[in-house]
Amino acid sequence: MRRAGHGARWLLLAVVLAVLAGCSNTPPPQTGPLPPPPPPVNPANPMDGSRQMIVGVDDLGPGFNPHLISDLSDVSTAVASLVLPSVFRPAKDGQLLLDPTVASSAKVTSTAPFTVSYELALGASWSDNAPIAAEDFVYLWQRMRAEPGVQDSAGYRLITDVRSRAGGKAVDVVFSQPYQQWQTLFSNLLPAHVLKDAPQGWRGALAESIPLSGGPFLVLAVDRARGQIVLARNDHYWATPAALDSLVLRRSDTTSMLDGLRGGDLPIVQTWADANVATALQQLGSSARVQKVAQPIMVQLGMRTDQGVLTDVRIRQAVGAILNRDTLINIGTGNGAGGVRDDAQLLAPSEPGYHPTAPAGAPIHPDPALAARLLTSAGYVRDAAGKWTLLGAPLKITVGVPSGRDRFTEIGMEIQRQLTAAGVEATLVTAAGASLFADPTVVPVPPTTSPSASPSASAGPPLATAAEGARPLATGGGQIPAGLPAQPGMPAQRPGQRPAPTPSPAALSTTVPSTPPGPSSSAAAAPAPAGVTVDLEVMPRSVGGDLATTAVSNYGCPPGMAGVAQPARNPTGFCLTSLQPTLDAALTGGLSPAQASAAIETVLWQQLPTIPLFQIVTTVASTPKGDDATGHIGAGPLTVGPFGSAASWQAIPKAPR
């Protein structure tokens, strides 16, 4: 019995050991110890609140994909800089420097074919512990060359292959031609293993958040109803951790911002101010330090050149001669407080080398006589009612604005008013920006004020239905300030520009589309509205990158690319075969930036695929305690902004109760 029991015990021990061995799952060797899992977090009160910074902002932005034109905003720029990894990052002077936390090496390793090799940091990983690797390079490359509505895609279109080595921790990128600005690529990498199969696809997957982090902060919560974004310290970050437990971007109206700065509840605010808000901030005196911060966003009018009535360059030129550009700039900048006029097609006013390139006359200043001559040469005649017609049919132009952006809507309403007054039948529609700047047609949505719209902007009224009648657009009066203190090299705003007039109700008659179906539908649901072709768009454009890349991305003909059946067109569909050789030479280094600018700008002002208006300028106000905690927050590099250093910010000690 003793032997039998002894054998049974040994058998039992062997079974237990076998089970334990089978249950073990030894991870692959790590470059360092795995960080502990993050503690449970209450999104309403992240961490323990002892190391938290709250920043007041106008709104939460339309989305968080830093590569989509539609998602361009000061908030999306801030979030991307803190959450997403980039191989190169700009220094204070704008020079691109290798980020050693992401890559230990990046250099040209061959010229035939032109090849750039990246050695990625072994510890670099996403917040779910998946490595930042070659697949993330492949994903961004494939999306940037194939998707419409992206910004600065020209460099990615030169890439023919992305090859993985060393288990994905080394990447060779092969180009069809030399590309001297290759350091601008692979910024704001996205987690391919999560996004490549996301049901919302490229456009929608980052509309409400960024699911994973490869930076010092992660997006913990985006609560549009409460109006705040909570960024928590990424405890899986392999480099220097953020000093703050959490950074909260809180939507605040003007009164809340002013009271928060006075009382200390908001040590930092960033607002797209109008003249009234800018004056109120200056009146805070020693309670807050106020500075202007140029944004990497230029607002322009984009004319669809690949379909519709504006395919005729004479009609585009006539529209430019009709519009009062000064008035549109006044509306968009809040009479000069929220932007600086842009008189060039490629560079923005805050960029080195900027100088006005616009020719004298239209479209800089209205010229009704020129507009009449151009329309007449295109076959149009003006009837007894003052309407321009062709073979009895009226000249119709549909103006589109992205939904949820009130100042863009105000600009669109003024464009509609001016075109209508000039005898052009103009209709204004709003649509989701991701569709408006990418699709041939859009499903319009009612142009109501967005809950996350800028409270500091002078919000225009919603468009009226035909039954209600249209209401006038209220705009501020006064002149633009004589100077705009901004970043070094930013020119002063022109003095003496005229304020925007109040349009008459009759001039604002418009067609309001029906409401689109909700997120869920049934067989009994009403059919979706028919798509609408938009001729002229009020749209943002990213600035701060390479001049040639900007030119080719926004005005080049889509190239033939292996593996892409239908290369994405540029935002306006502009394609001029006689200009393409110049664009190609600029992109591959055959022309200097100065030579390229001189040649390209002249053609663009003549062809008018776009009419630039202004570069957005926000106002950052910081209290003395906010300055102490942030090390005197500054403008930061143009493409990163003032929040790029937030990982080193300190919490403000709470006053004892």
Res 589 pLDDT > 70 = yes
Does a structural domain hold residue 654? Answer: no
> Do the Cβ atoms of 598 and 581 come closer than 8 Å?
no
- What's the CA gap between 555 and 576, in Å, rounded? 8
pLDDT of residue 553: 95
Residues 66 and 140 in one domain: yes
Does a structural domain hold residue 559? Answer: yes
Tell me the β-bridge partners of 303: 536
Q: Is 386 left (phi over 0), alpha (psi -120 to 50) or beta?
A: left
Read off the pLDDT of residues 272-314 as tens digits, 9 standing for 90 and up: 999 999 999 999 999 999 999 999 999 999 999 999 999 999 9
Does a structural domain hold residue 5? Answer: no
Q: What is the DSSP letter of 465?
A: P
Q: List, as one string, the DSSP characters of 1-66.
A: -HHHHHHHHHHHHHHHHHHHHHH--PPPP-SSPPPPPPPP-BTTB-TTSTTEEEEEES---S---T
Res 498 pLDDT > 70 = no
Number of structural domains the chain divides into: 2
Res 235 pLDDT > 90 = yes
566: domain CATH number is 3.10.105.10
> Do the Cβ atoms of 355 and 435 come closer than 8 Å?
no
Res 487 pLDDT > 70 = no
Q: Sorting pLDDT into bands at 50, 70 and 90, what band is 447? A: low
Between 10-24, 58-72, 478-492, the lowest mean confidence (pLDDT) is in 478-492
Does a structural domain hold residue 195? Answer: yes
Tell me the β-bridge partners of 331: none
What number is the average pLDDT over the span 395-410?
Answer: 96
124: domain CATH number is 3.40.190.10
Amino acid at 366: P
Residues 80 and 98 in one domain: yes
What number is the average pLDDT over the span 527-551?
Answer: 87
> Do the Cβ atoms of 387 and 393 come closer than 8 Å?
no
Task: Compute CA 430 distance to the chain's CA centroid, rounded to the nearest angstrom.
Answer: 18
With a pLDDT cut of 90, the percent of the chain lying above it is: 74
pLDDT of residue 200: 81
Residues 386 and 493 in one domain: yes
Res 602 pLDDT > 90 = yes
Average pLDDT value for the chain: 83
Residues 603 and 539 in one domain: yes
Residues 491 and 375 in one domain: yes
What is the C-alpha radius of gyration for the chain, rounded to an integer number of angstroms? 27
Residues 586 and 637 in one domain: no
Residues 221 and 338 in one domain: no
Residues 145 and 72 in one domain: yes
- Which domain does 398 fall in, by range? 293-514+529-615
Does a structural domain hold residue 549? Answer: yes
Does a structural domain hold residue 365? Answer: yes
> Do the Cβ atoms of 198 and 187 come closer than 8 Å?
no
Does a structural domain hold residue 46? Answer: no
Residues in the chain: 657
- What's the CA gap between 284 and 290, in Å, rounded? 9
Read off the pLDDT of residues 46-57 as tens digits, 9 standing for 90 and up: 445 579 999 999
Residues 315 and 421 in one domain: yes
Residues 136 and 120 in one domain: yes
Segment holding 375, helix H or strand E? helix 368-377
Residues 129 and 162 in one domain: yes
pLDDT of residue 451: 39
Read off the pLDDT of residues 176-223 as tens digits, 9 standing for 90 and up: 999 999 999 999 999 999 999 888 889 899 999 999 999 999 999 999
Does a structural domain hold residue 276? Answer: no
Locate 207 and state its tokens: 């509309």
- What's the CA gap between 83 and 80, in Å, rounded? 5
Q: Are strands 289-303 and 610-622 parallel, antiparallel or unpaired?
A: antiparallel
> Do the Cβ atoms of 429 and 534 come closer than 8 Å?
yes
Which residue, among 188, 299, 341, has the nearest Cα to 543 in the 3D structure? Answer: 299
Residues 540 and 418 in one domain: yes
Q: Sorting pLDDT into bands at 50, 70 and 90, what band is 512? A: very low
- What's the CA gap between 511 and 526, in Å, rounded? 19
